[in-house]
Amino acid sequence: MDLKLQEKVIVVSGGAKGIGEGIVRVLAKEGAIPFIVGRNAEDNRKAVASVEAEGGKAFQVVAELTEPDACAAAVKEVLDRCGRMDGLVNNAGVNDGVGLEKGNYEAFMASLHRNLVHYYLLAHHALPALKVSRGAIVNIGSKTAETGQGGTSAYAAANGGRNALTREWAVELLKYGIRVNAIIVAECWTPLYEKWINTLPDPKGKLEEIVQKIPLEHRMTTAEEIANMAAFLLSERSSHTTGQLIHVDGGYVHLDRALANA
């Protein structure tokens, strides 16, 4: 299926690694021009070089998204270089383990800036350009907002906020023809996930325990599977889809737990 994304400029926050990088690579293969916004210049450049090595086109800008002025500057850089913006993927963030019992106000607020506030700021500053292009917004979220996880109050709250903003923006932006959807991630294999599981006493055993609870094929979701859905939601092929929280998770969140042993 031709997604008709050729030459579309799509901003991807946190696009240098993990799910973000997967989205960048799929968009580039579809002929789009992904524009990575990330804090690490070397990681950004490596991701761009990887796209270019495969015949695609990509750009990058370094931005610490916890700083409000950096969000505005990043959007300005995109528009100065490309002159347009056709889509925004809010993806950057980290499950930082700021809990209720052992957390504190300062850590909680810092986590919201790492995981939620820049979603609002990037969309706010991108909106004038998206109104011109009748573009689309895709927010990447996490199951933690629905299932809880334990010991990660701030990240769960941020993801609840991402879900709420998705629905709210879908309503507010109807008049501009801007569609807004979210992809909810459960257990997706990324470098960050691998780093986390390798901190455990029995990484291999724990991974096997996790995948056995994923109903469809008892395996982790891949970054490419998240990316494929993101590309579809950014494209004209999803032209009447807005305000949706779409779970790309092999049935992890909603299917009967008894299926884990099926």
Q: Are 221 and 159 in contact, with CB atoms under 8 Å apart?
A: no
| Ramachandran class of 245: left when φ > 0, alpha when ψ lies in -120 to 50, beta otherwise | beta
Q: How far apart (Å, rounded) are the C-alpha atoms in residues 82 and 229? A: 25
119 classed as catalytic:
no
Task: Tell the burial category of 131 from Cβ atoms under 10 Å away from its Cβ (0-12, 13-18, 19+).
Answer: middle
Q: Which of 105, 119, 155, 193 is catalytic?
A: 155
Cβ atoms of 246 and 230 within 8 Å: the answer is no
The CA distance from 232 to 216, in Å, is 21
The residues annotated with a catalytic role in the active site are 155
